[in-house]
Amino acid sequence: MAAVAQVRILHGAVPFKIGNVNDTFQGMFLLPDGSRRHGVIKDINAEQLANELLATTLGKELGLPVPNGYLGFAPNSVLNARQLPVSNGTGHIVFVSEDVGTPNLTQQVIRGGAFIEALLINALRNWLNLGHLYAFDAWIANTDRHPGNLLIDGPTNIWLIDHGHAFTGHQWRPQDLDPVRAYRHRLSEWLTGHLTVEQKSSKGHDAAVFATKIASVPVQQALSDGGVDQLLPPTSVAALKDFLMKRVQHVPKHAKDALGVPAFVI
C-alpha cells in the first residue's frame, strides 16, 4: 500500500460547475518527482478531504478502478481556495484527483439522450466489478454514488470518483459511525431497478465474496498512508478504524439489501 503523495497546484487552474456542490477546478499539478499531471482540484473541508483520501487508498488496495488521489498544496497566488488554510497563511490544502480522460455518466446522458443512457446502463449491468462496488459502498457508507460519480466510457473503462460523502456524509462525527446501521446506498435508487433477478443474485454473491477480500485490508495502514491521521483528531481516526473493522461482517447484508436480494440468498 503506497502512501498518498503530496503535490503542488500550478498556475492556470480554472473553476468548473457540472452539478458539483464544492468549489472545483481543473488544472495542472506538480508531483514530487517533478512530473506534471492534469487533475480535478476540490476545495473541501477536513472531513471530506479525509473521506476522499481514505476511500482512494482503500479502493486501490482492493483493486477497484479509482483515479490516483493526492493531497494538494495550493499557493494563494495560484488558486482562490477557502476551506483549509495552512498555518503560515501561504495557501490552502486541497484534494486532487488525477484526470483519467473519461466523462461521467450524467454528462454523457445529457449529451446523448436516452439511447446513450441505455448503452451505459447496460455496460454497468454487465460490469464484472459491479458486485464489488455494491460491497465497497456498503463498507465505506458512501451515501452519494449518483450517476455523476461514475466515469464511464464503455464496458471496460469505468472509474469510481467523488467520495467526499463517504463514511455517512460530508460532515460526519464519531457518533455517526455505526457499523451495523444501513445507510443510504444510492445505487439502489437508480441502478438496481435495471438489473434482472439473475443479475441481482449474481452481484449479491460477488459482493459477499468480495467482503472476504475487504476483511484482509490493513485498515490502520490505510489510515496512515491516506494521511487521515494527520487531518483528523485522534478520536475521529479511532472511530473510523473501529467502524471499518466492525462493519466488514455486515457488508454482505447491506450490499444485498441494496440489490434487493434476500440476505440468505448466495
In the 3-class helix/strand/coil scheme, how is the chain assigned residue by residue? CCCCCEEEECCCCEECCCCCCCEEEEEEEECCCCCEEEEEEEECCHHHHHHHHHHHHHHHHCCCCCCCEEEEEEECCCCCCCCCECCCCCEEEEEEEECCCCCEHHHHHHHHHHHHHHHHHHHHHCCCCHHHHHHHHHHCCCCCCCHHHEEECCCCCEEECCCCCCCCCCCCCHHHCCCCCCCCCCHHHHCHHHCCHHHHHHHHHHHHHHHHHHCCCCHHHHHHHCCHHHHCCHHHHHHHHHHHHHHHHHHHHHHHHHHCCCCCCC
Answer yes or no: is 46 within a domain.
yes
171 and 89, same structural domain? no
Question: What are 142's three cell numbers?
Answer: 458512501
pLDDT, residue 18, reads 66
125 and 81, same structural domain? no
Answer yes or no: is 122 within a domain.
yes
109 and 31, same structural domain? no
- pLDDT block averages, 10 residues each, the chain of length 266: 91 82 91 96 96 98 97 96 94 96 82 79 93 98 94 86 96 97 97 96 97 98 95 97 98 97 61
pLDDT, residue 266, reads 45
57 and 124, same structural domain? no
Answer yes or no: is 265 within a domain.
no
pLDDT, residue 32, reads 95
pLDDT, residue 265, reads 46
Answer yes or no: is 1 within a domain.
no
Answer yes or no: is 198 within a domain.
yes
Domain limit, last residue, from 47, 65, 98:
98
pLDDT, residue 135, reads 98
- Number of compact structural domains in the chain: 2
112 and 190, same structural domain? yes
244 and 206, same structural domain? yes
Residue range of the domain that includes 125: 105-259
Answer yes or no: is 121 within a domain.
yes
pLDDT, residue 110, reads 77
83 and 146, same structural domain? no
